[in-house]
Amino acid sequence: MVNWNIGKKDLDIIDAIVERAMNGDKKLDALNLTMDLSATHKNGNPLDFKKLLFADEFTFNHDVYGIMHHMNRENGKLGHGFMPRCTYHKPAKKVTVKK
């Protein structure tokens, strides 16, 4: 089951990402791209939406088209080992080494 539970704040920035993508490629389907970005974020690969929105053209296109191409629409996960460059990475926990 695909998790579609995306908040209003995230949806607003997804809309801006879709608008940017549509400006570069009028053939894109806005609803499908919105769903792909939402599914990616909520099903195992959290995205840094602000980083994606303001990314350079190469990174932006890599992530947007890569997500669309590698999305498994049955489970909402990315396949074929694809990893968006704008994946959100949690900061590493500090490790204290005792001497």
Which of 90, 15, 26 minimizes the C-alpha distance to 52? 15
Confidence band, pLDDT 50/70/90 cuts, at residue 92: low
| Residue for token pair 């791209």 | 33
Look at residue 69 and tell me if it is in a domain.
yes
CB 71 within 8 A of CB 39: yes
Taking the model in full, what pTM does it have?
Answer: 0.88
Whether 48 is covered by a domain: the verdict is yes
1 inside domain: no
Residue 3 banded pLDDT, cuts 50, 70, 90: very high
Count how many domains the chain has: 1
Residues 41-90: pLDDT tens digits? Answer: 999 999 999 999 999 999 999 999 999 999 999 999 999 999 999 998 76
Domain containing residue 39: 8-78
pLDDT tens digits, one per residue of 7-53: 999 999 999 999 999 998 889 999 999 999 999 999 999 999 999 99
Q: Which amino acid is it at 93?
A: K
